[in-house]
């Protein structure tokens, strides 16, 4: 079961690491998108959010200070979910569906992050340097 938990951590944390790297690889495009949603200082927001989720994902994958990783993921997910995926504000049906799917996905990711807090530490197969 230890390896199953490790695999889950890699999949879950890796999701955020890849997402954070995409923030930097597509900085211009993502900055324009967040600006269209009314977020001020779009590039700064993308850089900060990218760093948050890379850090959070790495903490989960490595099992190193996972509570800080969960905090970073929660700090990212809560505003993003409600600001960027406000499906109830969309008037075009396909955009509404797309944003609702992303909203629900983010809620599930948020729930999974919170569940990680109840797993006793140190986690098995983790890098406990701090």
Q: Is 105 left (phi over 0), alpha (psi -120 to 50) or beta?
A: alpha
* Residue at 123 is within a domain: no
pLDDT single digits (tens) 6-18 = 999 999 999 999 9
Domain hosting residue 12, numbered range: 2-116
* Residue at 121 is within a domain: no
pLDDT single digits (tens) 65-92 = 999 999 999 999 999 999 999 999 999 9
* Residue at 48 is within a domain: yes
* Residue at 122 is within a domain: no
Average of per-residue pLDDT across 47-52: 98
Q: How many domains does the chain fold into?
A: 1
* Residue at 130 is within a domain: no
């Amino acid at each position: 079961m230890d390896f199953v938990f490790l695999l889950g951590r890699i999949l879950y944390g890796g999701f955020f690491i890849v997402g954070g790297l995409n923030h930097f690889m597509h900085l211009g495009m993502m900055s324009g998108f967040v600006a269209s949603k009314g977020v001020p200082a779009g590039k700064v927001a993308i850089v900060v959010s990218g760093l948050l989720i890379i850090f959070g994902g790495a903490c989960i994958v490595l099992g190193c200070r996972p509570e800080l990783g969960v905090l970073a993921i929660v700090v990212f997910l809560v505003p993003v979910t409600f600001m960027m995926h406000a499906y109830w504000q969309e008037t075009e049906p396909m955009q509404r569906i797309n944003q609702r799917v992303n909203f629900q996905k983010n809620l599930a990711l948020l729930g999974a992050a919170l569940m990680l807090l109840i797993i006793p530490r140190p986690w098995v197969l983790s890098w406990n340097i701090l």
